[in-house]
Amino acid sequence: MLKILFLSLFATLLVAQNPTIYSALGNVVYDNVEKIKKLKNIESYSKDKQMIDIYIENVNKSKDVGYSIESGDESVDKIRYLKEIRVLSKTNDFFHRKALSTFNLSMKNRDDEHLVQIIDTGLIDIQKYKKEIVKYYITQCGDIEELLEDSNTSQELDLCAVMNKYSVIQEYIEEDKLLKQKRKKRVVTKKQIQEARIKSIRDKDKKKQALIQAELENELTKIKSEIRKEQIKGLSE
């Protein structure tokens, strides 16, 4: 009973992870297969459905071969397995390039539907294209709260509602807002510093001017006093 339980657990672990042999190539292929499968849900990929089905079948077969090698099956040719995953890797790269092309074209043409669908596959590294996605979102959606209040923006709202479900994109948008707020604060702070400096200079100038004025008045008072003394002295003579 314990042996059966152990074998069942071992089989579950194998299914949950990829074969470790040639994992540098294999992991990319095996991790992306479900993402590539989602391309079948996009209308523009309808012609690729058969190719995708064949690819998925070959990936699953290759994965089974990898497990067989790891289990110690000496009848399996390792070199042949390596060649197979190299071929699969090239097909993976093909679909990845095509998905990226769809992403870029959708952004360029403002094709909301295709953009959301291609992001939904997971084939697009949204961290890499963070700035582009945030800029597109803000341009298309603006303020989501304002859109919710406007009944005439149902089409735009569909896009925003769909994109809002991507928590990562929402995190990017919040980061963008915070960054703009920080920049705004920096601008205000710099302006305030400049104004404070100007005020300080003006205050110093006023103090200097006041001192000069006081010295002049004192000097003038002395001169007037001396003139009076001279006048009084002249009269007394």
Q: Tens digits of per-residue pLDDT, 129-144?
A: 888 887 887 777 664 4
Of 95, 69, 97, 103, which is closest to residue 84 (Cα–Cα)? 69
Summarize pLDDT for 92-126 with one digit per residue, the tens: 999 999 999 999 999 899 888 888 889 889 999 88
Give Cβ neighbours of residue 119 (< 8 Å, ≥ 6 apart).
Answer: 103, 126, 133, 163, 166, 169
Give Cβ neighbours of residue 69 (< 8 Å, ≥ 6 apart).
Answer: 19, 21, 76, 78, 81
Structure-derived torsion over alpha carbons of residues 209, 214, 220, 222, reported in degrees to the nearest 10: -150
Give the total residue count for the chain. Answer: 237
What was the pLDDT predicted at 181?
A: 67
Of 79, 59, 63, which is closest to residue 71 (Cα–Cα)? 63
Given a cut of 50, whether residue 4 has pLDDT beyond it is no
Q: How many CA atoms lie within 13 A of 219 on its CB side?
A: 6
Residue 52: Cβ within 10 Å count? 18
Calpha distance 114→190 (Å, rounded): 44
More reliable by pLDDT, 130 or 13: 130
Q: What is the pTM of this model?
A: 0.60
**Unique residue bearing structure tokens 């190299």:** 86
C-alpha 163: how far from chain center: 14
Mean pLDDT of 2-8: 43
Calpha distance 197→25 (Å, rounded): 62
End-to-end Cα separation, the chain, in angstroms: 141
Segment holding 35, helix H or strand E: helix 23-37
Summarize pLDDT for 146-191 with one digit per residue, the tens: 444 444 444 444 555 555 555 556 666 666 666 666 666 555 566 6
Q: Contact 132/140 with Cβ under 8 angstroms?
A: no
What was the pLDDT predicted at 185?
A: 59
